[in-house]
Chains A and B, each alone.
Chain A
């Protein structure tokens, strides 16, 4: 069966005055209809860039320097601008982090929703309006008709994010990319938003890519997880496996550093050092300077993701299958 989305060896670079920096270095993954995939990593690992690359909305000086992105059978990065525009917000919708910044402060909700519909299909204002109200209902917004006439600043953060999700749903997309959708919201609201997203993916038959640094959120919602580090995939596999049976020292370190994982009273686990900036990516395995397991080969050769025990589980570590993962 053909995948909804196929990303093959994606490479994204930033063209700067003194040379090009590689933000994403050969990333490959697939996504099927109704599948929920999480992309996790620290800030700067390349997660958001992936999302923007898929819909070809990289801000200069970023550009796609290699690889293919195939969505519903079409190669996205080769599409002319106008066709790409027709896909964006239509077949693929994106949700950003801070709903206060995402919605235009000087237009009403109604205007912002209706224009999205009218941008993608021939539909009258009345009809578009009704459709928008329907979607607001779907995201459980009370009194949707009133909301349509309101401005973003008149609502709470959680409600705004629901509206953003409603906008994303307007055109019945096949894929939603959610870039840190709950980071700017209160913890108490987060759960509600995540539940909503999960429910909608089921009921609307959509694929979901959830980009976040929050492991707790990703473990509850997704079926598969990709872990990124310095622009590369270091481990990918079913959520269960990533959370409980890590096969890469970075992932293990990440899970171990979550509060609540260790015993009460103990110090928090930390991975020593910091993720390298784009200008200073080490030779060989990008993680080796911080890794307790590193040996000579790690400094020379960049590991490629290789399959480990569980089905669909891959790790980019030279010792994924041979040694026990130690942090």
Chain B
């Protein structure tokens, strides 16, 4: 059987098909990711193209309300950009940063956790001390301070240019200890097992054992925390952008859109904050729900067959 066949017949896929929450949340998630990828194609307007934006179009309500116009389905924001299109691009940015940051965290955390867990002794103590120190400070504060420092160091303009990769690094740094700890715990458990002993007896070198033999067995918990981490990364980016420490208003993400719209909630243009906010909540929610299901299904205690 090839991999696809094995997957389709697996218990994993079977319980996925049966669980309504998993199906629905994953479908919505996939749909949203697809939409964000296709943003340049789907969006009726290009929010980055300043020539198509007219400041006189600012603050137009959604099309089904009084004063709304058909060409702007969900209304426009304070600069006259079509809210719907901007949201799509914003989702794209948010998703990209979320996934990018998680990959960064995972790679860094796995590397550290694997090394610490396998090498043990002083390496382990040292690496875990660093992780613990960072762990004692909430990830958001780390991200906020890191972002502030970067912004001060590079100046607002340069920061804005490099915002996306910088944010990936910042959010990545803020949460790697979680991965390190998880992987290390797994490695400690696996290290005692016989297949490691066997590999050592054959004479394989440390790195080979670590990467080819132990690592695959530690990936299940990594997968489980990754989904929640994606949700958290997206929310962190939204928070940073909301504070002005994230994506600039010219390259909007959902967070900065919400921030921009905030001031206008009082004057009645509620849609500028509401729709991006709704999209953010829905996206985060489906990722979390799917993550919860994934965790339950991969939980070895329940998986007694």
Direct A–B contact in the complex, CB atoms closer than 8 angstroms: no
Residues of B in contact with A (beta carbons under 8 Å apart): none
